[in-house]
């Protein structure tokens, strides 16, 4: 084993001082624009008529398990988070961005390698001054430093920052997919339960009208009623049967869509009691539009993309300045293999290089302009993301407010239609009205019952949309991640 002094660099004190000074200067300057977040392109508060008071829980701090308390729905969401392919692709993109960041970060450190070479050559006599052929050899063993750039102007550091921001943006995008998946599964589940309840109403109606058809057919046979009344009863029955088949088809489609979201067979879904729109989901407060900046993962992702654009501008600006790189090696060399590590065989090279392109056909200028345009695109995308988030929250608040009003009206309408159908049947039985009046009343009653179920589901869907629009569970997930990171024995959550 050779002495350590032969394997590691031992340059002169002056050379080491110069190198150390250069290292100290490395990264001390950055030509990236100062971070400047654009002002909010939306009003500072939600419209007052939407009822966005301060009561209720903060959606960002409320984990989805605490918001969606139905055990069956929780099981479906957990299965989706484990099997959904869109979420899996988003997680893989995060790993891809992480690897790209580590590759870029490695440029900040010198690449040190160990190498050895040896060779012998014969030179003919007519090619040397002695006139006689000569046989010679050269053997080297070195530790080398290859083209390490001194990042005086922050070019390498800005490229690293851009890669880091891209990584963070992809992770925030994964969180956005995570939240969207939860909302889609919840809404799909509510849609399935809505159809199940409407199917139950339709089946009950079909059974009732089949019995009515049997009674009227018997009446026609004994001559106590006209055939016109029988055809009207049959029309009611056919309408109910047609509605039932449509709902069965819609249920199959909804179940297939839910299976795609879940990423696996959801299994048998037990029949549930009609949902109560006042107790299924917790009340949420909208807060201020500015709170979306820290709770909406898509806005967080857009902001990281904005920072990546700033860093790329800094790297493009640094390309106009001189680039200094260090290349060197230290080791031992000898003309004979046996004397490779003998005293006096030490050899080293130190080659700093300075380069500054004088003419490149406008490449650097175009690259800077490209970076600036992409940064402007990121700004526009950031502002549009905020505007989209504001609209989604406003739409969800508006839907929640007005659907609650519609539900109240639908309840009153159902009561009125039920009373109308009862009175019409009573008038027909007493001979005071034609059966056509009963026909219209029962048709409208079935429509009112279906519309009430649809209104209930729409109100619940608006609450799901509001939870997603407010960045539901984002802050809670961030707190869990920080707690896991501070506990060495804990395992980071994948959800």
Cα angle 382, 383, 387 (rounded to 5 degrees) comes to 120
Distance CA 90, CA 422 (A): 57
Task: Give a three-class secondary structure readout of the chain.
Answer: CCCHHHHCCCCCHHHHHHHHHHHHHCCCCCCCCCCCCCCCCCCCCCCHHHCCCCCCEEHHHCCHHHHCCCHHHHHHHHHHHHHCHHHHHHHHHHHHHHHHHHHHHHHHCCCEEEEEEEEEEEECHHHCCCCCCEEEEEEEEEEEEEEEEECCCCHHHHHHHHHHHHHHHHHHHHHHHHHHHHHHHHHHHHHHHHHHHHHHHHHHHHHHHHHHHHHHHHHHHHCCCCHHHHHHHHHHHHHHHHHHHHHHHHHHHHHHHHHHHHCCCCCCCCCCCCCCCCCCCCCEECCCHHHHHHHCHHHHHHHHHHHHHHHHHHHHHHCCCCEEEEEEEEEEEECCHHHCCCCCCEEEEEEEEEECCCCCCCHHHHHHHHHHHHHHHHHHHHHHHHHHHHHHHHHHHHHHHHHHHHHHHHHHHHHHHHHHHHHHHHHHHCCCCCHHHHHHHHHHHHHHHHHHHHHHHHHHHHHHHHHHHCCCCHHHHHHHHHHHHHCCCCCCCCC
Give CATH 1.20.1600.10 domain extents, the chain: 30-108+154-321+364-474
Q: Looking at the whole model, is its pTM more than 0.85?
A: no
Between CA 300 and CA 293 the distance in angstroms is: 7
Question: 41-96: per-residue pLDDT in tens?
Answer: 888 887 776 655 567 788 888 899 989 988 888 899 999 999 999 999 999 999 99
CA atoms within 13 A on the CB side of 451: 18
For 111-150+323-355, CATH number?
2.20.200.10
Closest CA to 215 of 443, 448, 437, 425: 425
**CA dihedral (210, 216, 219, 221) positive or negative:** negative
pLDDT tens by residue, 70-82:
888 889 999 999 9
CATH of domain 30-108+154-321+364-474: 1.20.1600.10
Span(s) in the chain for CATH 2.20.200.10: 111-150+323-355
C-alpha of 281 from chain center: 24
| pLDDT tens-place string over residues 109-168 | 888 888 888 888 888 877 777 778 888 778 888 888 788 888 888 899 999 999 999 999
| Tens-digit pLDDT profile for residues 423-444 | 998 988 888 888 788 888 888 9
Q: Compute the half-sphere exposure of residue 297: CA atoms within 13 Å on the CB side of its CA.
A: 25
User: What are all long-range contacts of 343-350, with beta carbons under 8 Å and residues at least 24 apart?
Assistant: 346/6, 347/140, 347/142, 348/9, 348/11, 350/11, 350/15, 350/326
Residue range 244-268, pLDDT digits in tens: 999 999 999 999 999 999 988 877 7
Radius of gyration of the chain (CA): 38
Percent of the chain residues past pLDDT 70, beyond the cut = 87
In contact, 394 and 48? CB cutoff 8 Å: no
pLDDT in tens, 198-231: 999 999 999 988 988 898 889 888 888 888 888 9
Matching residue, tokens 């179920």: 453
């Amino acid at each position: 084993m050779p002495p350590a002094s032969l394997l590691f660099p031992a340059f002169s004190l002056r050379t080491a001082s110069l190198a150390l000074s250069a290292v100290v200067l490395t990264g001390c300057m950055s030509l990236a624009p100062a971070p400047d977040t654009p002002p909010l392109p939306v009003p500072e508060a939600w419209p007052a008529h939407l009822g966005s008071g301060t009561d209720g829980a903060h959606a960002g701090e409320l984990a989805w398990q605490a918001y969606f308390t139905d055990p069956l729905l929780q099981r479906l969401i957990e299965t989706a988070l484990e099997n959904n392919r869109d979420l899996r692709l988003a997680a893989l993109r995060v790993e891809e961005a992480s690897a790209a960041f580590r590759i870029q970060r490695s440029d900040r450190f010198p690449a040190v390698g160990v190498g050895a070479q040896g060779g012998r050559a014969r030179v003919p006599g007519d090619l040397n001054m002695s006139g006689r052929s000569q046989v010679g050899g050269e053997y080297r063993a070195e530790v080398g430093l290859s083209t390490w750039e001194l990042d005086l102007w922050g070019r390498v550091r800005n490229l690293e920052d851009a890669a880091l921001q891209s990584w963070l943006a992809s992770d925030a995008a994964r969180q956005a997919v995570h939240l969207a998946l939860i909302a889609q599964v919840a809404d799909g589940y509510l849609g399935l339960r809505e159809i199940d309840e409407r199917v139950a109403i339709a089946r009950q109606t079909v059974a009732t009208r089949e019995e009515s058809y049997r009674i009227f057919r018997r009446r026609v046979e004994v001559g106590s009623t006209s055939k016109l009344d029988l055809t009207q009863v049959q029309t009611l029955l056919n309408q109910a049967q047609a509605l039932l088949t449509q709902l069965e088809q819609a249920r199959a489609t909804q179940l297939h869509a839910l299976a795609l979201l879940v990423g696996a067979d959801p299994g048998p879904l037990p029949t549930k009691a009609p949902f109560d729109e006042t107790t299924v989901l917790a009340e949420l407060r909208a807060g201020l539009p500015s709170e979306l900046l820290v709770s909406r993962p898509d806005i967080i992702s857009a902001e990281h993309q904005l920072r990546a654009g700033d860093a790329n501008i800094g790297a493009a600006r640094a390309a106009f300045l001189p680039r200094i790189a260090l290349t060197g090696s230290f080791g031992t060399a000898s003309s004979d293999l046996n004397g490779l590590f003998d005293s006096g065989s030490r050899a080293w090279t130190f080659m700093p290089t300075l380069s500054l392109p004088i003419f490149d056909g406008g490449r650097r200028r175009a690259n800077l302009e490209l970076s600036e345009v992409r940064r402007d695109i990121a700004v526009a995308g950031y502002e549009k993301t905020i505007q989209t988030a504001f609209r989604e929250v406003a739409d969800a608040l508006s839907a929640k407010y007005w659907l609650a009003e519609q539900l109240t009206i639908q309840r009153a309408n159902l009561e009125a239609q039920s009373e109308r159908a009862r009175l019409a049947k009573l008038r027909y039985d007493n001979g005071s009205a034609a059966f056509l009046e009963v026909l219209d009343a029962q048709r409208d009653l079935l429509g009112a019952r279906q519309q009430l179920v649809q209104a209930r589901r729409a109100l619940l869907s608006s609450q799901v949309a509001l939870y997603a629009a407010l960045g539901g569970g984002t802050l809670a997930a961030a707190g869990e991640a920080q707690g896991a990171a501070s506990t060495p024995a804990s395992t980071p959550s994948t959800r």
